[in-house]
Structure 1
Amino acid sequence: MSDSCTHIVPVHTGDYPDAEAKAREILAWFLARDLVASELSDCTLDGPGYAFTPMIQTLFIEPMDPRVHDGTIRGLALHAGERKVFHPMEGAELSFVCPGCGHDQGWDAVDAIGAWFAGEDDEPACPACGERFHINRYATDRGGSDTPWAFSNLGITLWNDHGGAFRPEFLDSMRGLYGTDIRVVEVHI
């Protein structure tokens, strides 16, 4: 069985302020609900993370099959600090649709994404209409038919969470903690 993860990323302009403090607040939220262990371990492919407890299944609509992902890579990773492109990896498509004129740059947007990542340009210009929009305003999910991409200096990753649909209340809690809308990025490795 291959590994998978889900990124939950805030949608915002500029760098998320005090990302490290927000990551600690999100970790405290998971700990207060006994969803993860309190000690770091090698439970993610991102480096040390916080292993899931059996309570993690309360975040999902459907219960987990206990035979799914019984390995050691099952936990929460926190990302705070440098900018990161959260993308679906395996078979990733890139739709990068201008919010002004609707032009889809597709993979030609790689340079614009690279400039955002380097902190050189947060508002790439559309090659079709010339208008500039913040990177998070470009649609990356091909009209909802593909997994979206997300761009932030803050995010959480749930490794091998079982791939089921999250409860709406959990996603609302994440929106509340971030104080923004969110993007949920499904990844299969």
Structure 2
Amino acid sequence: MSVHTYWIVDIDATAGEAPALADQVRQWLVEREIILPGPPLLDEAYLPLYRYGPAAPRWAHENALGHDLLCAGLHIVTERTVFHAGEGDVGPFVCPHCGATHFDLPWSPPTEAWYEGGGDSSLGCPACGTASSIAEWQSGWAYGHLGFGFVEGWMLDRLRDALAALTGHRLRVVHEHL
């Protein structure tokens, strides 16, 4: 069985901010009945997993929520994570300085350095020559300490926009397929 997760990743949250922001967003989602209140389910693959609430379909693409699936719901991550596409590709890469798009860059070493929290996580742009942390580049992946994974749910962009307004942070979307 394959699992699809629509990640909304806060790329600005620090490790120290992530738990409090996660609670704030979770409460916002409960108040709008996007997820159910109470303790999350303990699923084998996603611990914990908050079940979708009755308003979730209004925030998702048509027929894009797996309400009846045991693994469907919201998974919240509050630790340094590379949110990846799973079977999908990491590229293309868009330079945060000049906007140039590149399809084949040496992304693995800076990704490992960022994940480990040390070393050089920079990636140089062949077009403008500027180096930036891999976390600043736009790609099919996101790097951060806070992510909201809508398992078996494909949410509308307006949810990402509402969470960005709530947190005041930049958010990126990653479509993961495992």
- TM-score normalised by length of structure 1: 0.78
Paired residues in the alignment total 175
The answer to which of 172-181 and 93-102 deviates more is: 93-102
> Runs of 4 or more off by more than 6 Å in structure 1?
none
Q: Name the SS for the 2:8 alignment partner.
A: strand
Displacement of 1:154 in angstroms is 0.7
**Distance in 1 of aligned mates of 2:59 and 2:97:** 36
Identity of counterpart residues, as a percentage?
27
Change (3 A) 1:131 1:167: closer
- Which 5+ residue runs of structure 2 have no aligned equivalent? none
Which amino acid letter does the alignment assign opposite residue 112 of structure 1?
Answer: P
- Which 5+ residue runs of structure 1 have no aligned equivalent? 141-147
**Distance in 2 of aligned mates of 1:94 and 1:50:** 31
2:165 aligned with 1:166, yes or no? no
Displacement of 1:171 in angstroms is 2.3
Displacement of 1:135 in angstroms is 2.7
Task: Name the counterpart of 1:157.
Answer: 149
Change (3 A) 1:53 1:122: farther
Cα pair 2:81 2:145 within 8 Å, conserved: yes
Q: CA RMSD in A?
A: 2.7
Task: Name the counterpart of 1:144.
Answer: none
Task: Name the counterpart of 1:133.
Answer: 132
Q: Kindly provide the CA deviation profile for residues 32-62 of structure 1, in whole angstroms up to 9, marking residues without a partner as x.
A: 1222222210357322221112321121253
Task: Name the counterpart of 1:85.
Answer: 82
Cα pair 1:41 1:50 within 8 Å, conserved: yes
Cα pair 1:90 1:188 within 8 Å, conserved: yes
Displacement of 1:72 in angstroms is 0.6
Q: Kindly provide the CA deviation profile for residues 74-93 of structure 1, in whole angstroms up to 9, marking residues without a partner as x.
A: 1111111x310111111324
